[in-house]
Amino acid sequence: MPGSQVLGRLLEGAGITVQVTALAVLLGTVLALAGGLAGLSSRPWVRWVVRIYVELFRGVSAIILLFWVFFALPIMLNIFLSPLHAGVLALGTNMGAYGTELVRGGIQAVPRGQSEAATALNMTYWQRLRHVVFPQALVTMLPPYGSLVIEVLKASSLVSLIALNDLMRQAQTLRVNGTASSPEIFLGVFLLYGLLAGVITLAVRLAERRFGKGLDVGRLARVVK
Amino acid sequence: MSGALLAQGQSQGNWDWAFAREIIPELVAGLRVTVLATLLGILVAMVLGLFLALARRSRRKLISWPVGGLVEFIRSTPLLAQLFFLYFVLPEFGIVLAPMLIGVLGLGIHYGCYTSESYRAGIESVPRGQWEAAVALNMSRAGTWRHIVLPQAIPTVIPALGNYLVAMFKEAPLLSTITVVELLAVARSIQGFTFRGLEPFTLAGLLFLAVSVPAAVLVRYLERRYQYARA
């Protein structure tokens, strides 16, 4: 098989990898925002629910969670989960647990006086969050968020173990069929994952620049000033 | 997809306690292998990370640049792909290693790249004056590293190493993909033989949590205590 065809198959797989990663990041981000805010709730039972979610879904590890979601959860609930849904559910809830801590930490890092000043200006909870606290928290949260997204990209390779034709599984298929030499295939695999990670890093840098404008917090504060 | 449907469809039914009790000893034996691989892996990562950090700080760009690039590259590609590479590609170059050894090396190299960043931060946290004082005392460069810088840098790295230990334990089940018979491999083989996925994977998850949650709590506790002690 000529090299271009091997590359074609790998790119096809990379498309699935991007799809799984994007959907899992979407789910994980929603859970992280909800969990991060709920984790700062004044109601103790809400904080406890968040605490338990974080400890369970962070502690169980992505790969064990994936197998449990794919093989055990459908039996418990008597439903069918496609490999894509199982993958997104496992990776997304796992990311959400890490992200919850990140969002909570980011919001807590904004000086209390900011929120108090907003209260003094008669702003509601959501107005304070939307216009005062979150924009400042966002800039400090972005760099670790970027690392988290790269972790999801790497963990997305696990879906190859539940028969989803992502980049990793395409490589395995090519290798087993002997259509190309292994070193050649793996070179392609590593380069594609590296490339995708590079794109994520770049996107986060751009976002930092965009959202860091006019703020004196965050990594790029001095550059923007 | 049809295979997945079949696997899920054939394993209908409620929780079977007798079956669960029967498979627990096998799963616990698997968990021990997972823990062992993690402990050996962190040893590799601790030693390798230090050398990578030193190489990255080298004044010779011919050393520091390629090492830096390699570290970034390993960190941004999946451990699964690296394990497959070691397991399937090395034999083509005549290097055949036992699966457990490959697993420990894979974990150690992957996390060595993470720990090297922590070592680097630890080394950079040593005040410049310490270096200058060592020069003033006419110490050799190697002596400065051994007697002045590293004894101050390494203690600050220990909490980070604890976190990587926990993180590595969470990725150790990946070794099941290269035929190491650890916790997840045991659960998968039970599921394969009996077509019952509910009990093996749920128990595997619970056993896993029974180790990882206390470990994470302990590391956080030590981290806090340690920070107070330093402050």
3-state secondary structure chain A: CCHHHHHHHHHHHHHHHHHHHHHHHHHHHHHHHHHHHHCCCCCHHHHHHHHHHHHHHHHCCHHHHHHHHHHHHHHHHCCCCCHHHHHHHHHHHHHHHHHHHHHHHHHHHCCHHHHHHHHHCCCCHHHHHHHHHHHHHHHHHHHHHHHHHHHHHHHHHHHHHHCCCCHHHHHHHHHHHCCCCHHHHHHHHHHHHHHHHHHHHHHHHHHHHHHCCCCCCCCCHHHHC
DSSP class of residue B231 equals -
Q: Is the pLDDT of residue A225 over 50?
A: no
Cβ neighbours of B187 in A, within 8 Å: 67
CA separation, residue A150 to residues A36, A196, B103, B122, B195 (Å): 20, 9, 22, 24, 34
Q: Which runs of E-coded beta strand occur in chain B? A: none
Asked if the model's pLDDT at residue A109 lies above 50, the reply is: yes
Residue A72 contacts B where some CB pair is shorter than 8 Å: yes
Least reliable range by pLDDT among A49-53, A213-217, B125-129: A213-217
Q: Cβ separation of A78 and B12 shorter than 8 Å?
A: yes
- Quote ipTM for the complex: 0.90
Backbone angles phi, psi at A25, to 5 degrees: -65, -40
Which chain A residue shows the shortest CA-CA distance from B187?
A67
B-chain residue closest to A182, CA distance: B89
Mutate to test the interface with B, among A67, A98, A174 (most CBs of B within 10 A): A67
d(CA A206, CA B117): 24
Count, residues in chain B:
231
pLDDT tops 80 at residue A218: no
Chain A residues touching B184 at Cβ < 8 A:
63-64, 67
Report yes or no: A197 at the B interface, CB cutoff 8 Å: yes
Residue with tokens 């034709």: A165
Half-sphere exposure of B113 (CA within 13 A, CB side): 19
pLDDT value for A219: 62
Select from A93, A153, A154 the residue whose CB has the most chain B CBs within 10 Å, as the one to mutate to test that interface. Answer: A154
Contact B204 A157 (CB under 8 A): no
| Contact by Cβ (8 Å): B134, B144 | yes
Residue at B207: amino acid letter: L
pLDDT band per the 50, 70, 90 thresholds, residue A22: very high
Name the token pair of B219. Answer: 């590391």
Secondary structure of residue B197 in the 3-state scheme:
coil
Confidence of residue A32 (pLDDT cuts 50, 70, 90): very high
pLDDT at A26 > cutoff 50: yes
A195 touches chain B (CB under 8 A): no
- Tell me what pLDDT residue B230 has: 55
B2 lies within 8 A of chain A by CB: no
Cβ neighbour number for residue B52 with a 10 Å cutoff: 25
Taking the Cβ of residue B213 and every Cβ of chain A, the question of whether any pair is shorter than 8 Å is answered with yes
- Residue B7 predicted with pLDDT over 80: no
pLDDT tens, position by position, A61-81: 999 999 999 999 998 888 889
Q: At A212, is the pLDDT very low, low, confident or very high (cuts 50, 70, 90)?
A: confident
d(CA B37, CA B175): 9
Q: Strand locations in B67-224, DSSP E?
A: none
| Residues A108/A40, Cβ–Cβ less than 8 Å | yes
Residues 50-69 of A with CB under 8 A from B: 55-56, 58-65, 67-68
Contact (Cβ atoms closer than 8 angstroms) between residue A138 and residue A211 = yes
Chain B positions touching A70 (Cβ under 8 A) are 4
pLDDT of residue A217: 63
* Position B1 confidence tier, pLDDT thresholds 50, 70, 90: very low
User: Angle at CA A182, nearest 5°, toward A178 and A186?
Assistant: 130
Q: Comparing C-alpha atoms, which of B14, B73, B38 is closest to residue B199?
A: B14
- Enter the pTM of the model: 0.90
Residue of A nearest to B195 (CA): A71
Q: For B111-139, what is the mean pLDDT?
A: 93
Contact B77 A197 (CB under 8 A): yes
Cα nearest neighbour of A58 on chain B: B213
Biggest CA pair distance of chain B: 76
Per-residue confidence band for B8, with pLDDT thresholds at 50, 70 and 90 = very low
Tell me if B182 sits within 8 A of B37, measured CB to CB.
yes
Distance from the Cα of B72 to chain A's closest Cα (Å) equals 9
> Do the beta carbons of residue A225 and residue A216 sit within 8 Å?
yes
Q: Which residues of B touch A157 (CB under 8 A)?
A: 78, 80-81
The DSSP code for B13 is: S
Whether residue B34 contacts residue B169, with contact meaning beta carbons closer than 8 Å, is answered with yes
Surface of A (85-124) touching B: CB under 8 A: none
Min Cα separation A81/chain B (Å): 9
Mean pLDDT value of segment A139-161: 95
Q: B9-53 pLDDT, tens per residue?
A: 444 568 889 999 999 999 999 999 999 999 999 999 999 999 999
Structure tokens at A146: 């970027």
3-state SS assignment for residue B96: coil
